[in-house]
Homo-oligomer: A and B are copies of this chain.
Amino acid sequence: MANIVTNIINPHISVDCVIFGFDDDNLNILLVDRTLKEKKTDHIIFNDFTLTGNHIYEKEDLNDAAHRILYDLTGLKNIYLEQFSVFAHPERLSKPNDKLWLINQGKDPESRIISVGYFALIATNNVTLEWKGRNVDWFPINKIKELAFDHNQILNSALKALQTKLLNEPIGFELLPEKFTLSQLQKVYEVILGTSLDKRNFRKKVSRMKYLIPLNEKQKGVAHKPAQLFVFSREIYEKTKRNVFDFSI
């Protein structure tokens, strides 16, 4: 991260983070409540949700901005974070509610803002959430309806990027606690890929992953027969991953 950052906001560029979390059952997304109220009566004009995002500072690089936004929200510093695409459609902020919201925020709804999309992977239960006095919460990805701005498009694009990445690198571990079971790992693959996987084939694949280390330790406090726990070793993964000669064309 940058050491010193002056906090003058760049009005043209923002960062939006699609924050994925996993709770043993669902792939969840962190959303921020966007409620517009009439000032005098407190009557709710509309109520919907946005991804977590903000403008970058003038002297700040993009990755620093994305880390800052996540840190403000979660208090966590070493989160898996990846830039995946840029969203710049000239009409991306022009739905009626978006214009109302921007005007209410003292912004020109006609001015163009492009947004750089990041996705983050968080083990849901590790996090206490705060976001500048606004409500934030986790929502199962398959229950998310129309979001603010172009945020459905950003979300879909992030999910595709995550799926591609998961098929090429062992990043599913970022969504799990340090010690996990093979059933939890399989569920991570299933919720991200949106499909169910055959348990036997999955275990066969998994048995070839040298970077998946079995522990001499089992689950505690579960109703069913406790399963063996595993950890992911990034060090062994880095040492054993395919080199370029072994290309799969």
- Per-residue contact bits, chain A 170-183, to B (CB 8 Å; 1 contact, 0 not): 10100000000000
Q: Are the C-beta atoms of A61 and B83 separated by less than 8 Å?
A: no
Q: Are the C-beta atoms of B90 and A59 separated by less than 8 Å?
A: yes
For this complex, into which size category does the number of interface residues on chain A fall? 35 or more
- Asked if A156 lies at the interface with its beta carbon under 8 angstroms from chain B, I say no
- Asked if A167 lies at the interface with its beta carbon under 8 angstroms from chain B, I say yes
- Asked if A79 lies at the interface with its beta carbon under 8 angstroms from chain B, I say no
Q: CA A170 – CA B198 in complex, angstroms?
A: 28
The residues of B that contact A170 with a CB separation of less than 8 Å are 249
Q: Are the C-beta atoms of B86 and A249 separated by less than 8 Å?
A: no
Q: Which of B56, B166, B189, B247 contacts A193 (CB 8 A)?
A: B247
The residues of B that contact A209 with a CB separation of less than 8 Å are 249
Given A59-B90, A62-B86, A85-B83, answer yes or no on A112-B10 (Cβ-Cβ < 8 Å): yes
- Asked if A224 lies at the interface with its beta carbon under 8 angstroms from chain B, I say no
Shortest distance in angstroms between A111's beta carbon and chain B's nearest beta carbon?
10
- Asked if A215 lies at the interface with its beta carbon under 8 angstroms from chain B, I say no
The residues of B that contact A198 with a CB separation of less than 8 Å are 245
- Asked if A88 lies at the interface with its beta carbon under 8 angstroms from chain B, I say yes
Q: CA A223 – CA B166 in complex, angstroms?
A: 47
- Asked if A40 lies at the interface with its beta carbon under 8 angstroms from chain B, I say no
Q: Are the C-beta atoms of A245 and B59 separated by less than 8 Å?
A: no
Q: CA A88 – CA B61 in complex, angstroms?
A: 6
- Asked if A114 lies at the interface with its beta carbon under 8 angstroms from chain B, I say yes
Shortest distance in angstroms between A3's beta carbon and chain B's nearest beta carbon?
13
Q: Are the C-beta atoms of B88 and A56 separated by less than 8 Å?
A: yes
Given A58-B112, A249-B209, answer yes or no on A13-B88 (Cβ-Cβ < 8 Å): yes
Residue of B nearest to A164 (CB): B168
- Complex interface residues of chain A between 169 and 225 (CB less than 8 A to chain B): 170, 172, 189, 193, 195, 197-198, 201, 205-206, 209
Given contacts A58-B112, A62-B86, A201-B245, 6 further A-B pairs with CB under 8 A are A12-B12, A61-B88, A61-B90, A88-B116, A166-B247, A197-B245
Binding site for B on A (CB under 8 A): 10, 12-13, 56, 58-62, 83, 85-86, 88-90, 112, 114, 116, 163, 166-168, 170, 172, 189, 193, 195, 197-198, 201, 205-206, 209, 244-245, 247-249
